[in-house]
Amino acid sequence: MKRIDFQTSPDKYRHWRIETDGEVARVIMDVDETAGLFEGYELKLNSYDLGVDIELADVIQRLRFEHPEVKTVVMASGKDRVFCAGANIRMLGGVSHAHKVNFCKFTNETRNSIEDATDNSHQTWICAVSGACAGGGYELALACDEIILTDDGSSTVALPEVPLLAVLPGTGGLTRVTDKRKVRRDRADIFCSLEEGIRGKKAVDWRLVDQVAPASKFGEAVDQRAKEVAARSDRPSGAQGVRLNPLDKTLTDNAIRYSMVSVEIDRDARIATVTISGPEDQPPADMAAAEAQGDQFWSLKLARELDDALLEIRFNEMEMAVIQFKSAGDPAAVLAYDEFMQANDGHWLMREILLYWRRVLKRVDLTSRTISTMAEPGSCFAGTLAELLFAADRTYMADGQFEGDNRPEARIALSQLNFGAYPMSNGLTRLETRFLGEPEAVEAAKATIGEQLDASQAEEMGLVSFAFDDIDWEDEVRIFLEERASFSPDALTAMEANLRFAGPETMETRIFGRLTAWQNWVFQRPNAVGADGALKRYGTGKRANFNMERV
């Protein structure tokens, strides 16, 4: 399968348009059916594949950073009579299981980022639906804060996956129907069993949409609502956005190099080593200076590079068993940036950067590779970067100086940001999740904010899994990495998905835990993907042939 590139920009979009007009932006989905990411299908009826979703993720990100003045985003279709037909079925029928799973995860993260923009950036997405809005199309609408449907006798919302395709509305659909829109359970059952969808007032009564408006007044109703919603936002009107320029990125056969991040691919050992560079300078003097740095502000630049690196590994390096995080730099310099971010967290730009880090760290949590963090001599896992210690399945810390190594002894440190800025999908911080059974350990950790902790202190406090000196380090790490690479990748994926999210469940954990796991199961079953299965037979005129055992 060809290498997938997650970097794009509006001048390259094939499927979306952004039209900004003061406080309100319109995001128009107008899929180019000839521009699918892979061969073998046409993106008819505004159906989508990963390429369409990569552009959407870019749209969401740019509106947040480049358009502080935009308070409401209206999503609409650029086609007549169809809003969006959902994920492209021929694409789903043709790609590998691994791609389907990765595709669904990325689209889910993108839907969640729409909700994050609404809830936390106060850039509220509303969905203006005219025409058929089915499956993944309705799931796009569900991710928006409000859905306004044209009442024209033909525009409908639908989740026809089960009756038509023998798969689930797996991009959050089932979960948002029950838990976001709180549709009555028997109505949810009826709705999800209907090929043809629901329209008009009934869609409102059943809580599937918020409002209907006749075609003649639809534009007006949407505009009015967009203005009302904009009025409650705290986004600044006169601020200048930060332009997200192309990443500084070089690909070689076994490496991806960015300015602050490098990824080394060891295909034999099946390890991707991601090394992060700490800041080389002090944080800017004030927010004006930070705004002037724009996308070169250390923390933003690093977040963008790390985010891209994670997606590269997920999609383009499928056989990597382990992601091994390393870092190089001065812990004090990272803490200084954390303090600057914390001190300015009321500023729209700093809020965006903190929220972006939150999403990137969630992307780490949701990456189905073993995550290990290696705090070696000379590393700088402090504050925001210390989250990578707690996001890891295991963390190894070097104890003392290593012979023949002139880098300083490894130290880790916490900042205020470790105690609330970066909640996981379960709504808890990584430290709260880690210490679910010993909440007093969170308090003890908090008492050390700003201190540089050595390996024995860190181990004692439960902040790392192991501390080894240079006699044991190499063997212990090697054994772990070899062992991990020898286990069944499937069992590890499933085990980690269960162990990483202790504690409360949220709509997000339900989507990634329950809904995704069931969808992945369905994506393996012959009734969906077999030669006579529904995905393969879709559009051939032949009915799928099902094994009728209920499992």
**Sites for its own copies among residues 352-411 (CB under 8 A):** 368-369, 392-395
The Cα–Cα gap between 548 and 551 comes to 9
Nearest distance, CB of residue 438 and its own copies, angstroms: 8
The helix (run of H) or strand (run of E) holding residue 255 is strand 255-258
The Cα–Cα gap between 87 and 139 comes to 10
Cα end-to-end span (Å), the chain: 33
Taking CB under 8 A as the rule, does residue 268 contact its own copies?
no
Q: What x-and-dash track marks residues 8-37 binding its own copies by CB under 8 A?
A: ------------------------------
Nearest distance, CB of residue 182 and its own copies, angstroms: 3
Stretch of 13-21, 314-322, 350-358, 412-420 lying at the interface with its own copies (CB under 8 A): 314-322
Q: Of 303, 513, 536, 537, which one interacts with its own copies (CB under 8 A)? A: 513
Question: Which lies closer to its own copies via its Cβ, residue 35 or residue 204?
Answer: 204
- Tokens 């800017």 label which residue? 284
The Cα–Cα gap between 533 and 546 comes to 7
Q: Which two tokens stand for residue 26?
A: 């319109």
Residues 78-117 that bind its own copies (CB under 8 A): 97-98, 101-102
Q: Of 14, 44, 122, 187, which one interacts with its own copies (CB under 8 A)? A: 187
Q: Reduce the DSSP state of residue 263 to 3 states and report it.
A: strand
Stretch of 20-28, 31-39, 238-246, 317-325 lying at the interface with its own copies (CB under 8 A): 317-325
The Cα–Cα gap between 294 and 65 comes to 10
Taking CB under 8 A as the rule, does residue 515 contact its own copies?
yes
Other beta carbons within 10 angstroms of residue 244's beta carbon come to 18
CA–CA distances in Å: residue 129 to residues 182, 286, 417: 20, 43, 39
Nearest distance, CB of residue 548 and its own copies, angstroms: 5
Q: Of 491, 531, 539, 541, which one interacts with its own copies (CB under 8 A)? A: 491
Q: Of 500, 508, 536, 537, which one interacts with its own copies (CB under 8 A)? A: 500
Question: What number of chain residues touch its own copies (CB under 8 A)?
Answer: 92
Taking CB under 8 A as the rule, does residue 490 contact its own copies?
yes
Residues 523-542 that bind its own copies (CB under 8 A): 524-525, 527-528, 534
Question: Which lies closer to its own copies via its Cβ, residue 321 or residue 410?
Answer: 321
Question: Which lies closer to its own copies via its Cβ, residue 191 or residue 258?
Answer: 191
Nearest distance, CB of residue 246 and its own copies, angstroms: 29
Taking CB under 8 A as the rule, does residue 488 contact its own copies?
yes
135 close to 194: Cβ distance less than 8 angstroms: no
Q: With CA atoms as reference, report the closest residue to 373 among 482, 475, 298, 477.
A: 477
Name the strands in the sheet holding 82-84, side by side, starting at the edge strand that comes first in the sequence.
Answer: 82-84, 132-134, 156-158
The Cα–Cα gap between 219 and 19 comes to 15
Taking CB under 8 A as the rule, does residue 270 contact its own copies?
yes
Question: Which lies closer to its own copies via its Cβ, residue 174 or residue 261?
Answer: 174
Question: Which lies closer to its own copies via its Cβ, residue 384 or residue 509?
Answer: 509
- Which long-range contacts (C-beta less than 8 Å, at least 24 apart) are formed by 251-260? 256/309, 256/312, 258/305, 258/308, 258/309, 259/301, 259/305, 260/298, 260/301, 260/302, 260/305
Q: Of 157, 320, 350, 360, which one interacts with its own copies (CB under 8 A)? A: 320
Residues 214-243 that bind its own copies (CB under 8 A): none
Nearest distance, CB of residue 310 and its own copies, angstroms: 13
Q: With CA atoms as reference, report the closest residue to 412 among 387, 439, 442.
A: 387
Question: Which lies closer to its own copies via its Cβ, residue 398 or residue 485?
Answer: 485
422 close to 393: Cβ distance less than 8 angstroms: no
H-assigned helices in 168-271: 173-175, 185-193, 200-205, 218-231
Nearest distance, CB of residue 247 and its own copies, angstroms: 24
Residues 450-469 that bind its own copies (CB under 8 A): 462, 465
The Cα–Cα gap between 516 and 241 comes to 36
Q: Of 212, 315, 497, 537, which one interacts with its own copies (CB under 8 A)? A: 497
Taking CB under 8 A as the rule, does residue 425 contact its own copies?
no
Q: What x-and-dash track marks residues 142-181 binding its own copies by CB under 8 A?
A: -------------------xxx-xxxx-----xx-xxx-x
